[in-house]
Amino acid sequence: MPPARKKQRTYDPAKIRAAVTAQFGHVADGVRALTPDRLARPSGLGEWTVADLAAHVAWIADSLAGGLARPPGGVAELSAVEWPSVTASLAGKISEAARETLAGAPLPELYDNAAERMARALAANPTGGRVLSLWIGNMTLADFLVTRTVELVVHTDDLNRAAGLDIPIDRQALAACTRLLADALALKAPGGSVEVRVPPFAVVQCIEGPRHTRGTPPNVVETDPLTWLRLATGRTGWAEALDAAQVRAGGERADLSALLPLMS
């Protein structure tokens, strides 16, 4: 008899909306304080400068509003936890669209316009049931907003490291980002032989093999939320994190290097 399908995690829609809005506001405040020399720094993401990365974050909010402005899609084809696995093939298309949409506008203007459009669009869609027609496949608004926490939190961390900023990360946004990426790992490598802990937000079991039932699992991986999101998105390598004692891994199966990154 096949194993029962694991129930997907649910998120509080009101908290996720508040987290997305709050995190975008934090980034907007940080970007407005950037000096020309900081904007010209490399972002660490390909050929992007910090200015390019900042403009991309504005596009994240603007594209959400754009998605809500289009006619609704049909049936949802993609859930939030499936989203990380399909993003890689669209990275170039997303980058090109962002450049075309935002080219030439000053960053403060981009952020003001994006924040206003996003706020109006969300106010006009108070529930998360609307289905958005997206390049990656149709998604409900509720699920898509959870994925926005990943985009915003990961790029906030990118900006902080590249530009020497200290943009705060909303706790609810960080929690959702951490949980979604942990669940994406469990979806990619289903099983119960390894327990991955990212306190205080997530614990998942993954990888085929002997299932742990009680007591301390024989294979455990534990790390903090920021290290986890860097591992999951390829910002930090598995060996590098182990060497820096940012990850604790015990047991013969507690090696996630072949499964990471989950997205880039």
Rounded CA separation 118/2 (Å): 43
Q: Is residue 182 part of a domain?
A: no
Q: Band of the pLDDT at 21, cuts 50, 70, 90?
A: very high
Q: Is residue 4 part of a domain?
A: no
Q: Is residue 184 part of a domain?
A: no
Determine the pLDDT at residue 2. 39
Which DSSP letter does residue 202 get?
A: E
Structural contact between residues 53 and 162, judged by C-beta atoms closer than 8 angstroms: yes
Rounded CA separation 171/218 (Å): 31
Query: Rounded mean pLDDT of the chain?
Result: 91
Q: Do 107 and 34 sit in the same domain of this protein?
A: yes
Structurally, the chain folds into a number of domains equal to: 2
What are residue 38's phi and psi, to 5 degrees? -70, -40
Q: Do 99 and 225 sit in the same domain of this protein?
A: no
Q: Containing domain of residue 107, as a range?
A: 13-173
**CB burial class (10 A; 0-12, 13-18, 19+) of residue 33?**
exposed
Q: Do 72 and 148 sit in the same domain of this protein?
A: yes
Q: What is the pLDDT of residues 205-230, one digit of tens each?
A: 999 987 666 666 789 999 999 999 99
Q: Is residue 215 part of a domain?
A: yes
Q: Do 48 and 145 sit in the same domain of this protein?
A: yes
- Output the six-digit token pair for 100: 């075309």
CATH number at residue 54: 1.20.120.450
Q: Do 114 and 225 sit in the same domain of this protein?
A: no
Structural contact between residues 229 and 201, judged by C-beta atoms closer than 8 angstroms: no
Q: Band of the pLDDT at 1, cuts 50, 70, 90?
A: very low
